[in-house]
Structure 1
Amino acid sequence: MAHTPRHGHDREIETLQEFDEVAARGSLVGYRLQAVDLAERTGALLALPVTGAVFLGCRMAPEAAAKARAEGALVFPPLPDLPFDPYRGLLYSPDELFAGLAEQGYAGTPDALAYAWFQRTKADGDIFGSMLRAVHDDAVSDALDEHLAGARVVGVMGGHAMARGTDAYTGAARLGRGLARAGLTVATGGGPGAMEAANLGAYAAPYDDAMLEEALLLLGKEPSFVPSVGAWARAAFDVRSRWPGGGDSVGIPTWFYGHEPPNTFASHIAKYFANATREDGLLARCNAGVVFLPGAAGTVQEVFDNATPNYYESRGEPTPMVLVDRHHWTEHLPAWPLLRSLAAGRSMESRIALVDDVAEVPEALRRLAGR
């Protein structure tokens, strides 16, 4: 009898290499294949049993697709007219989202084209478009879970307006570097400003300290994505080219805020159409704590989005929360007094901290986690 794989990631095929490994075992029964180009694997598809398999956006020869359907497999064909793949099995990379930047400018990149499609379709009432967005976001969540399995993830939240070349940006970058060097996976909202700085720091972690200081000077020549996303992104790619193979981190941006481009220093990018899914997913995956740098409405929302599950945590294991910049969080946007009032008498009370400077964050996280 053909082996039917267990429910879970061991039945997912997301690359051609994985396909070849499974095919060598003699059966595709029950597998889920996501966005794999199988045009050159017709012989294997015609020879292997595929009962119960699901082919999601896989390029296949007509005879292979017909045979799969005849055996009871589900075949969802690719949708070539879309600027994104709703069935993708892997996270995005900066190179993928910014492909064509040098030749066509930012407007011609997959990232910009996906945002333009979203703008055209988000309110047209077409259930097909909303289904494609939902399928895409679920596939991205699945890929993100696979990528972060077993990782200790610390989130760094903060405003998009933090400009390159500022002391605040430098501090956020050094924070990201320190967290990455401590063995943590840095996760951000994936955009510009404080988010980019933290991802940059994680990228710089394998290099000596001088690399980050030089990179900061180079980036400071293009301080903002306004007025030119292209110039802003090219400056980042120049840094990546000069220092290739930097450290890993995760960015989780959204096309809901598509006027803000994703930053190029997150090695793995989980980009969503639905901002609510993105926000909840980002915070829920930060199992080693969340750091809140100064920000405006979006960052304040994230503070209390994270506080809510901590407030109702029944096992006594709320996620550590560190707010940075006493004046910002007590005077300018006084979220800290409310957060402290919420925490009073609950298990989360010992898991929140307010610090003056990013240099205090690593020790605060260790203390809150009891390490």
Structure 2
Amino acid sequence: MTLPSIPHVDVESVDQFDRLIGAGATAMAGWRVQSVDLTRRTADLLGLKPMGSVFLGCALEEKADAWVRDGGGLVFPAIPELPFDAYRGRLYDADELYAGLEHGYDATPDAQIYAWSRQREEKDDTSRTLAAALHDHAIADALTELPNDKRWVGVMGGHGVLRGDANYRAAVLLGRTLTRAGRTVVTGGGPGAMEAANLGASLAAYDDAALESAVAELAAVPSFRPSIGAWASVGLAVRSRYPGDGGVSIPTWFYGHEPPNVFAGSIAKYFSNAQREDVLLGRARGGIVYLTGAAGTVQEIFQAVTPNYYGDPATQIPLILVGTDYWTTQLPVWPLLQCLAAEHPMPLHLVDTIDEAASLIS
């Protein structure tokens, strides 16, 4: 027996709920209501059939809560004493993660959530593990709701690249070039090369003078060490002066000592680094450009090589390493990639300039 499919409806705000009521809804089958305060909508809820609905971390009056449960709906209660919403219905942005920065980085939600994650690791508390997993599920769901009319191109590279140096500026130009070519830039979301690529994407509508001005202003605080607050503050100042959509970033609190850059328009920050890596590489179907980096970048190279190596050639994506001397001598990744490609042909490229890299992106 095949059960009939029920249309899935995401309800992530009171306004969305009100529009459904206004459109004459009588039942909530298939509704997924995420983190919405419905304490003033009890009368409306009592007029709807709850069977097949799911309420995730919503605020409900006792009568409404009982109505949903007794009518066949599921109610997942909010988890108390968390510095984040485990059922959030949208991605982060820099303003949310850095709220309160004027009082120091430790006062921001980003820092407080990282501190919470470290406590979870120390206490090995199942409820905390569940909260983190629910949060990451919500982030993954929100990520799927981003527009996919443009191909996503990943830009990977080291967090240690200093603002203002040649490698940083090259990554800025790469991000701008890809965005102008109609691609969505997606990075690992941290400082260094990742920040530079998101910055370049945000400057796609600006001329060279604006780009040089932005990079020069950022170079006054070249690193997030020793002060994340100063590093983020100058970034926010540049972003306010040159507003633009810097693409997508997918950072993680696993590397909580690396703060998220402020230039991505959408920030999908995860607790689980493994899940974050898988999502990041899986979404970059337009190809991945690897700038110079260290262990994290090397890991990302081989994590992307694996599905290319074993997968159907039709699903392979181009992987482009920038820096011939770096990837053949300093970190000799390229010779090993050539050995793998000799057994299973893959679209692998080694180039020296960002213009060459951009030209290889379909």
What is the CA–CA distance in structure 1 between the aligned matches of 2:313 and 2:337, rounded to whole Å? 20
Number of the residue aligned with 1:211: 210
Question: Normalising by structure 2, what TM-score?
Answer: 0.95
Offset of residue 327 of structure 1: 0.7
Letter in 1 for 2:90: L
Deviates more, 1:295-304 or 1:313-322: 313-322
**Contact 1:324/1:355 (<8 A) preserved:** yes
Query: Is residue 30–residue 50 contact of structure 1 (8 Å, CA) maintained in 2?
Result: no
Question: 2:6, 2:29 within 8 Å by CA — same for their partners in 1?
Answer: no
Whole-Å Cα distance in 2 between the matches of residues 311 and 21 of structure 1? 48
Identity across matched positions, percent: 52
- Equivalent of residue 353 in structure 2, options 351, 357, 360: 357
Q: How does 1:112-191 map to 2 (within 5 A)?
A: 112-191=111-190
Q: What's the offset of the Cα at 1:207?
A: 2.3
Q: 1:308 aligns with which of 306, 309, 317?
A: 306
Which position in structure 1 is the counterpart of 2:326?
328
* Structure 2 counterpart of 1:369: none
Does the CA contact (< 8 Å) of 1:28 and 1:48 recur in 2?
Answer: yes
Q: What is the Cα deviation at residue 126 of structure 1?
A: 1.6
SS state of the match for residue 12, structure 1?
A: strand
CA distance in 2, matches of 1:5, 1:36: 25
In 1, Cα distance between equivalents of 2:246 and 2:59: 30
Give TM-score scaled by structure 1 length.
0.92
Instruction: Work out whether residues 150 and 182 of structure 2, in 8 Å CA contact, stay in contact via their aligned partners in 1.
Output: no
Aligned residue for 1:46?
Answer: 46
Per-residue deviation, residues 15-57 of structure 1 (Å, max 9, x unmatched):
3332222222313223111112223323322222222211101
SS in structure 2 at match of 1:247: coil
Unaligned runs of at least 5 residues, structure 1? 367-371
Instruction: Indicate conservation of the 8 Å contact 2:203/2:246, yes or no.
Output: no
Q: Does residue 85 of structure 1 match 2:81?
A: no
Question: Which whole-Å CA distance do the structure 1 matches of 2:246 and 2:34 have between them?
Answer: 24
Pair 1:279 & 2:312 matched: no
The one-letter code matched in structure 2 to 1:60 is: L
CA distance in 2, matches of 1:291, 1:355: 10
8 A Cα contact 2:199 2:246, kept in partner: no
**1:187–1:175 distance in 2 versus 1, CA, 3 Å:** same
Structure 1 Cα separation of the partners of residues 160 and 201 of structure 2: 20
Alignment root-mean-square deviation, CA: 1.6
Q: For the residues of structure 1 that align with 2:162 and 2:298, how far apart are their CA atoms?
A: 19
Please tell me the residue identity of whatever aligns with 2:110.
D
Greater displacement, 52-61 / 300-309: 52-61
* Contact 2:281–2:304 (CA under 8 A) maintained in structure 1: yes
Picking from 335, 338, 343, the partner of 2:336 is 338
2:200–2:246 Cα contact (<8 Å) kept = no
SS at match of 1:263: coil
Cα deviation, 1:120-160, whole Å, max 9, x if unaligned, reads 01242221111111111111111112215444100000000
Whole-angstrom CA distance in 1 between matches of 2:137 and 2:123 = 21
- One-letter code aligned to 1:233: A
In structure 2, which of residues 284, 287, 297 is the aligned counterpart of residue 289 of structure 1? 287
Of 241, 251, 254 in structure 2, the residue corresponding to residue 253 of structure 1 is 251
CA deviation digits over 1:259-313, x for unaligned, max 9? 1100000110111111111111100110000000000010011110000000011
- Structure 1 segments of 4+ aligned residues over 6 angstroms from their partners: none
SS at match of 2:75: strand
Give the Cα–Cα distance (whole angstroms) in 1 for the partners of residues 279 and 293 of structure 2: 20
Displacement after TM superposition at 1:345 (Å): 4.7
Alignment partner, residue 197 of structure 2: 198
> How many matched pairs?
357
Q: Which piece of structure 1 moves more, 352-361 or 206-215? A: 206-215
Q: Residues 85-107 of structure 1, C-alpha deviation per residue, up to 9 Å, x if partnerless?
A: 111111111111111111x2110
Paired with 1:149 and 1:73, the residues of 2 have a C-alpha distance of 32
